[in-house]
Structure 1
Amino acid sequence: MMMKFEEKHEGSERFVGKSQPYLGEKHQANWKPGANGKAEASVKQEANGNCDMPRQSLNTYSWQEIQKHNQKADQWLVINRKVYDVTAWANRHPGGRRVLNHCAGEDATDVFRAMHPNLDIVQLYLKPLLIGELAPGEPSQERNKNSQLMEDFQELRRKLEAMNMFNTNLGFFFLHLAQILILEALAWLMLWYFGSGWPITIFISFLLTISQAQSSFLQHDAGHLSIFKQSKWNHLMHKFVMGHLKGMSRNLWNHEHFQHHVKPNIDSKDPDVDLSPLFLLGDVQPVEIGKKKIKFINYEKQHLYFYMVVLPFFMPIYANMESMRVMYIRRFWGDFAWVCSFYIRYFITFSPFYGIFGTMCLIYLVKSLESPWIVFVTQMSHIPMKMSREENQDWLSTQVLATCNVEQSIFNDWFTGHLNFQIEHHLFPTMPRHNYHKVAPLVRSLCAKHGLQYVNKPLLEAFGDIGRALKKSAALWMDAYYETWKHDAECQT
């Protein structure tokens, strides 16, 4: 979910939503994923060309040396004990430069494997970035990490790959797409047959709301490239669903969502929890803000204005306006064309019955009804969980501590788009969602072995935990805020 409420500028570089664009401009010009069948071939040619360059013998490095290279202008990563300098590549990284910066100076083996479904192309690009390897006496990961836990998780992934858990059932996703298209066709047919009276308008709004919400879940699948084996078809599917069916920017979603997956619930690294000054989250941030005597808003009531403001207005106001703004600023004209096709389709379909203004009202109504659905589903698994500063934990701990599951049922699976299995999704982002329930027992067992709490709760309890978590954070802020004022007053007297 893309929930951010401010924009920063650093130097001459313009950040969109505190972040770099999904693709560096040079990279966009030279390689547009999914634009044509030649994209992957050009990648391999360029990478192979770079690999032909002469290279000096590899150096060896200690973790102490590697961890110094964690700045925007100096970024090293370790993957499978190999050391890579990704500084020059960062601007061209398809997932955005900030994703690399978030992992700079760290072992990125598990995150690298988790986020890249097509390793053949990525491995080719890694070759010219290779500068060395870990010294023979160095462990494969930082010393603060549990090596046995990481080894067990990697063994689990190998087991799941052998079980074909990353293979996609195309029929599942085509049935999901058919559901969306049938709902939209049914809404138009009912309007054409029964007319545009209020009862029919309410009913077709209900059908279109379901279509929009389910489109959100389908574009999420396509965004993680888990549907087709060839990425160009995933890109095309993502453009169609996100742009044509939902009317929003695909590039913006990709760029922000990848950051969320790499560093979930990490302050300043996960855009989804960077909600200040409107909201204060977790146990640490509210206390820090309170001790500084900062009160932009009456945070004591943040759990109330979450329901009053965010739920109804997030999708129709913030998300859509942010999408339009970013497409214009970053010149995502391809996204803009797909979004235009969404509005053209709606006006062709509904303006004969409602007129131009009435059709705009219908779109707003549908987005307003969709908004609480999407906000609840995306936030119920994160806001109640641990929020922290960067602790550089292993992949398994990072994901499990920041996410929770919702109990499985036919309705819950459909209503959440299988995001009720948020733990499994975060551990294996490229796994098709129809396999999450098969993997969950193995993940739960691994968590139990290493003492990690595997949280699984009822749906309504998960909804309520959002408000309870916001109320708890507000109470922490209030205590720190008034205690600081009291202390300062006593010191003055």
Structure 2
Amino acid sequence: MAEPKKYISQQELAKHNKAGDLWISIQGKIYNVTDWTKSHPGGQLPLMNLAGQDASDAFLAFHPGTAWKHLDRFFTGQHLQDYTVSEVSKDYRRLVAEFSKLGLFEKKGHGVLISFVVMAVLFAMSLYGILCSDSTWVHLLSAGMLGFMWIQSGWLGHDSGHYQIMATRRLNRVAQLLAGNCLAGISIGWWKWNHNAHHIACNSLDFDPDLQHIPFFAVSSKLFSSMTSHFYDRKLSFDPAARFLVSYQHLTFYPVMCLARINLFAQSFALLLSKRRVPNRVQEIVGLIVFWIWYPLLVSCLPNFGERLMFVVVSFAVTGIQHVQFCLNHFSSSVYAGPPSGHDWFEKQANGTLDISSPSWMDWFHGGLQFQVEHHLFPRLPRCQLRKVSPFVQELCKKHNLPYNCASFWMANVFTYNTLRAVALQARDVSNPVPKNLVWEALNTHG
């Protein structure tokens, strides 16, 4: 005779949400994942952020079917009392199952091969322009081509972190190190750590690192309270210097994006040289060393300091297009404060993201992130499948009266500018109060 099931309440589950005591619920079964934090491929942050609650939809989003067999060793023998599934989640899970049956998660197309070929051609042309021409304009054009190569390497690094773009895990790792560390100078380990946190806590002001850009940018006046970042584990101080910079952020946004690559270099080294556990630390560091050998050596081949400086600025500025693209998808979307929740996974992802409408022949430019809503809901889905599943996501959003945010590339820039400007005006008002009138109130109320 089978033993009766053991149940715990949601309130009891919620108590197990601290380091050294992490429990989650997946489809009503309770799992103790405390020890798994040391070996979890996605790092410990996703487990920390979703501990003490149901994480079914997040688990489905990030894990293939083969991951289910690993859950049994963490099962506590208990079930969640009064476990229910919302209608939105039911439909979302049906979509995941349907896409799996169709093999969409495995059909990656030929995009990876094409991307590597394009990157190789751009790199070769850049080398040729520097080494075989004395023209300043050719040198600047070479810098631009190098910047576009970095953009394509960024898309490949992004994809390889979400799903296996190569035939084997080992080759996938090689592709990550090549596209990220060696060619772009950005640690793929840092990117995965940062990006996983972003996906789990999409547009949470204190949990999503992609919104934590104080002192340069703030997307909400809630950041004026100097809240604590649960990603960086430090206070996001809104001091007088930050207040001044934020007051003009709508004007400095694009210039800063032209040099945003410097921050990624710094973040990469900060993680790899920290005491934090970093998988394959030596590989990561060696990859960065390769970059910091070939790139300065290439720049040194230019005839004088002025051209070298212009080459660096142009190559960084072109890559700034990609940094702008990353911001467009989230800066003007709905934000919230507090930890992510598992029970409204679909709703949070839909509310916090913005699609960019574009023709299929421009997919190379956006790297798949023009379908940001689809990507956040199905992060394991290869880039070439996102356009195909978009109508299903739109239909589900419409069915449940949820927003499906989509705008042209131009309007997405306008929305982002308006968001930054509205917060900038609020920052100015805090630092130097001025008499308010009805027009001022209307602008600051509706953005």
* 1:210 and 2:158 matched: no
Structure 2 partner of 1:386: 334
**2:31 pairs with 80, 84, 97, which one?**
84
**2:83 pairs with 131, 139, 145, which one?**
139
Question: For the Cα contact (< 8 Å) 1:407–1:458, is it kept in 2?
Answer: yes
Distance 1:441 1:447 in 2: 10
Structure 1 partner of 2:232: none
Distance 2:15 2:143 in 1: 55
Structure 1 partner of 2:118: 179
Question: For the Cα contact (< 8 Å) 2:19–2:34, is it kept in 1?
Answer: yes
TM-score (norm 1): 0.77
Q: How many residues align?
A: 417
Letter in 1 for 2:21: D
Structure 2 partner of 1:62: 9
1:372-403 deviation per Cα after TM superposition (whole angstroms, max 9, x unaligned): 21221100010000110236251111111000
Distance 2:44 2:434 in 1: 39
Superposition deviation, residue 159 in structure 1: 1.4
* 1:74 and 2:21 matched: yes
Letter in 1 for 2:42: G
* 1:325 and 2:270 matched: yes
SS at match of 1:107: coil
Change in 2 beyond 3 A, CA 1:412/1:327: same
* 1:407 and 2:353 matched: no
Identity over aligned residues, as a percent? 26
Letter in 1 for 2:347: S
Change in 2 beyond 3 A, CA 1:248/1:285: closer
Counterparts of residues 99-138 of structure 1 (less than 5 Å): 99-117=46-64, 119-120=65-66, 122-135=67-80, 138=82
1:206-256 deviation per Cα after TM superposition (whole angstroms, max 9, x unaligned): 111111111111111111124236333222211111012112111111101
* 1:337 and 2:286 matched: yes
Superposition deviation, residue 355 in structure 1: 7.0
Distance 1:440 1:302 in 2: 33
Question: For the Cα contact (< 8 Å) 1:79–1:108, is it kept in 2?
Answer: yes
Distance 2:48 2:266 in 1: 27
Letter in 1 for 2:328: M
SS at match of 1:75: strand
Structure 1 partner of 2:320: 372
Question: For the Cα contact (< 8 Å) 1:282–1:386, is it kept in 2?
Answer: no
Distance 2:127 2:316 in 1: 20
Question: For the Cα contact (< 8 Å) 1:412–1:459, is it kept in 2?
Answer: no
Question: For the Cα contact (< 8 Å) 2:259–2:317, is it kept in 1?
Answer: no
Structure 2 partner of 1:397: 347
Distance 1:484 1:123 in 2: 59
Counterparts of residues 439-478 of structure 1 (less than 5 Å): 439-478=389-428
Structure 2 partner of 1:161: 100
Distance 1:279 1:349 in 2: 33
Distance 2:380 2:238 in 1: 43
* 1:190 and 2:162 matched: no
Distance 1:230 1:294 in 2: 49
SS at match of 1:134: strand
TM-score (norm 2): 0.85
Superposition deviation, residue 480 in structure 1: 5.7
**1:305 pairs with 245, 252, 259, which one?**
252
Change in 2 beyond 3 A, CA 1:127/1:472: same
1:133-166 deviation per Cα after TM superposition (whole angstroms, max 9, x unaligned): 325x51245xxxxx11110111111112222221
Structure 1, gaps ≥5 residues long: 1-55, 142-146, 487-493
Change in 2 beyond 3 A, CA 1:347/1:283: closer
Question: For the Cα contact (< 8 Å) 2:299–2:311, is it kept in 1?
Answer: no
Distance 2:307 2:53 in 1: 51
Question: For the Cα contact (< 8 Å) 1:293–1:481, is it kept in 2?
Answer: no
SS at match of 2:7: strand
Structure 2, gaps ≥5 residues long: 228-236, 437-447
Structure 1 partner of 2:367: 417
**Which range moved further: 421-430 or 267-276?**
267-276
**Which range moved further: 198-207 or 466-475?**
466-475
